[in-house]
Amino acid sequence: MRHDRPVNASESLLRVATVGGAQGLRGEVRLAVHTDDPETRLAPGTSLQTEPPAAGPLTIADLSHRGKHWYVRFEGVTDRTAAEGTRGVVLLAEPLNDVEEDAWYPHELAGLRAETPDGEHLGEVEGIRHLPAQDVLILREHTGERTLVPFVRAIVPTVDVAGGRVIIDAPLGLLAGSDVPDDEDPEQGEDR
């Protein structure tokens, strides 16, 4: 699934990275990358909008990849103090024109009807949240409860934007009211 997604449904810009801590003394910062193509999205010379808007735009002066991490220097940010001032800033870019299979933006998911594989109504998707381990759908169940549903193919096998629905094949206990029935005692073993 695509990681560089709009920050919220009202925005058309995509979240491509979040600035982390300063590295060294010359203004370099480590990034938490949210895009599948950092070399293109964060290429030197690229100017990016920011969240908060007052922090930018920021232009990439240099990009490097060392070990598992990406690092950048921004034009005009030449020392550690200035680099620390960019910590927590979200870098935003326009969507690419390419269309990936299994790639959806939050504004496409919000409002979709959630159903079981058998067609039972579960509720409505309110949006998506990007967590460190994986993305989760925010589901407002028909009972009124909010549930975070892991946005993985095993649990959300179908996203049908054109049809206005998602299929959620939730494991027992994930959704409200889907607890283990009272007549089943997990402590009790078989009679021998």
- The C-alpha atoms of residue 3 and residue 125 are separated, in whole angstroms, by 18
All CATH 2.30.30.240 domain ranges of the chain, comma separated, are 106-167
The residues, any chain, with a CB within 8 Å of residue 40's CB and separated by 6 or more, are none
The whole-number pLDDT of residue 175 equals 87
Is it true that the peptide bond before 157 is cis, omega within 30 degrees of 0?
no
Residue type, 146: R
Quick: pLDDT tens for 39-97. Answer: 988 999 999 999 999 998 999 999 999 988 999 999 999 999 999 999 999 998 887 66
pTM of the model: 0.55
Q: 14-93 has which fold?
A: Elongation Factor Tu (Ef-tu); domain 3 (2.40.30)
CATH 3.60.10.10 for domain 106-167: no
Task: Say yes or no to pLDDT of 15 above 90.
Answer: no
Q: What's the per-residue H, E or C state across 144-164?
A: CCEEEEECCCCCCCEEECCCC
CA torsion angle for 136, 137, 143, 146 (degrees, to 10)? 50
DSSP 3-state of 39: helix
All CATH 2.40.30.60 domain ranges of the chain, comma separated, are 14-93
The whole-number pLDDT of residue 49 equals 92
Quick: pLDDT tens for 89-140. Answer: 999 888 766 555 566 767 788 899 999 999 999 999 998 887 777 788 999 9
Quick: pLDDT tens for 169-183. Answer: 999 888 886 655 555
